[in-house]
Amino acid sequence: GLTTAGALARRPPRTGDELRSEVPLPPPFEVPLPLPPVLKPVSTAGGVDRYEITQRETSAEILPGVRTPLWTYEGTFPGPTIESRRGRPVTVTHRNELPVPTVVHLHGGRTPASSDGYPTDLVLPEKWHEPVSMHGMHGMGGNMRDPRAVVTRRIRDYTFPLDQRPTLLWYHDHRMDFTAPAIWRGLAGLHLVRDAAEEALGLPSGRRELPLMIADRAFTADGSLRYPALDRDLRTRPGVEEPYAAGVLGDVILVNGAPWPVHEVDAARYRLRVLNASNARHYDLEAVLDDGRRLDLVQVGADQGLLASPVVHRNLPIAPAERYDVVLDFARVPVGGRVRIVNRLGSGRTRDVMAFRVARRAADDSRVPRVLSRDLPSWRRSDAVRTREFSFRAGRMDGGHGWLIDGRPFDPSRTDVTTRLGDTEVWRLVADVHHPVHLHMVGFRVLSRGGRPPLPHDAGLKDTISLRPGEAAEIITRFDGYRGRFLFHCHNAEHEDMGMMANLEVT
Ligand code: C2O
Ligand code: CU
């Protein structure tokens, strides 16, 4: 039967529901940390960088000696990284050679609606002759009330103006009802936006700047990724399995696609661009030396770019889809010493994330200035022209179990919120269990949590806020950018697929 929201809220975090791998797992800190390849533009003419990405099936050796079939962007997991300059537009042509329709969304991008990857704006596979099913896991009986909402193309150009603060964005699949299994199978990649002002700060750079995409997975006996339903069309599933309720958790922690990797570093500062690309797993990261001491995590940026000034953390919680820009200084670690990145929320093998091995002394001319940026929006409560409230709770839908916003599952033909371009609003978000809530198109600031000031890791401009069980948080944003239909949703990818998403119309 259905668990009430109240009962869910009283439960401890659901870390016990993780899927177990059926293959032998490698010891931690032996596989070298891979760095995703940086994609080369096919043209840079006319002030636009043009890229081409083919979405295709492949297999890769994620666990030593085991082949794992994947869905990929350009044959790698993570997909290739795109590196852009602020305000310089990028066009990415996506070609779909996968067996299913897909949708590409640039998470954190300030993107016009036409390129934002609406969940029914599909890139069809080249050889696709069936009618498009929009009956996913939460639909069962059909969530698509208006089939005219489906747009299909065979090849899709996405254009991103990138007229926004420099930061780490990521691109991932966003098809209605099928986002979680598609990301799980490998459809995720990084997109860095840079500018001269940030480069002038002198933060660690070059090989001392590392993107770290953290994601958990589980593996079946034949090396495939294990997921509650890996059939192509989830219509055939008899019911919602329990792991779906909390979101799918794996027992293997991957960083940049490698299990518990190790990276050799100089005894110097490193800038870590951390993304939690897990479907549902939360981490609380700390950097632990061999003797048990911890290194400070010096946060310089949030989801939407640099903080006003650095914030020092002993440990840093990171929810699905959040990014943290963190400087770690290995200068005082003895050569040969090791720094483990540990997840305080994990147990057994999921406590380990990755390790750094300090290989040599080295000169370091990087710095972490006390003032990082002066262009953070400083919206005040009194700027808001309205306040809205939304609840994020479990509930019953279509005879099954779903995750709902204000009691309703996602419906692409319904407008949930209408606002005017340029309006400033305060949103009060209330959660039953953990829900990382994400708004498309805009960045926001956290005003309060549980009636108290924001937490240290809420600093800066965010696009995803980690709501805690039973908590109400307030955010403030200004809807500037573009008119059109955008989304807000829970970024627990299974919750999103099970209905926890809504439409926001900017007029
Ligand atoms: Cu990262 Cu609507 O998504
Ligand atoms: Cu959720």
Q: What is the mean pLDDT of the chain?
A: 90
- Tell me whether residue 474 is exposed, middle or buried, using C-beta atoms within 10 angstroms of its C-beta: 0 to 12, 13 to 18, 19 or more: buried
The residue with tokens 């805009």 is 442
Helices (H), 5-136: 5-10
What are the backbone angles phi and psi of residue 119, rounded to the nearest 5°?
-65, -10
pLDDT per residue as tens digits for the range 134-157: 544 443 334 444 555 677 778 899
Domains identified in the chain and CATH numbers: 5-196 (2.60.40.420), 209-361 (2.60.40.420), 381-506 (2.60.40.420)
Q: Which ligand is nearest to the CA of 464?
A: 1
Query: Does the pLDDT of residue 239 top 50, yes or no?
Result: no
Separation of CA 434 and ligand 2 centre (Å): 6
Separation of CA 179 and ligand 1 centre (Å): 9
Separation of CA 169 and ligand 2 centre (Å): 21
Q: Which ligand is nearest to the CA of 14?
A: 2
324 confidence band (pLDDT: 50, 70, 90) = very high
The torsion of the CA quartet 447, 451, 455, 461, rounded to 10 degrees, works out to: -10
pTM for the structure as a whole: 0.93
pLDDT at residue number 333: 96
For residue 447, the surrounding DSSP H or E stretch is strand 444-449
Separation of CA 483 and ligand 2 centre (Å): 26
Question: Among candidates 215, 219, 227, which has minimal Cα distance to 23?
Answer: 219
Buried b / exposed e over 211-237, threshold 16 CB at 10 Å, is bbbbbbbbbeeebbbbbbbeeeebbee
Please say whether the beta carbons of 282 and 319 come within 8 A.
Answer: yes
Pull the structure tokens for residue 96.
Answer: 């779909």
pLDDT at residue number 244: 52
The residue with tokens 């600031």 is 445
CA gap 294, 281 in Å, rounded? 23
**Rounded average pLDDT over 311-330:** 98
pLDDT per residue as tens digits for the range 359-377: 999 999 999 999 999 999 9
4 confidence band (pLDDT: 50, 70, 90) = very low
pLDDT per residue as tens digits for the range 176-227: 999 999 999 999 999 999 999 999 999 999 999 999 999 999 999 999 999 8
DSSP secondary structure letters along 166-234: --EEEEEE--TTTHHHHHHTT-EEEEEEE-HHHHTT----GGGEEEEEEEEE-B-TTSPBP-S--SS-G
Residues surrounding ion ligand 2 at CB below 5 Å: 435, 490, 492, 495
The residue with tokens 């900017």 is 506
Residues with CB under 6 A from ligand 1: 105, 107, 172, 174, 321, 438, 440, 487, 489, 491
Q: Measuring from atom 1 of ligand 1, which residue has the nearest CA?
A: 107
Omega prior to 78 cis, within 30 of 0: yes
CA gap 243, 468 in Å, rounded? 19
For residue 264, the surrounding DSSP H or E stretch is strand 262-267
**Rounded average pLDDT over 44-59:** 97
Separation of CA 393 and ligand 2 centre (Å): 8
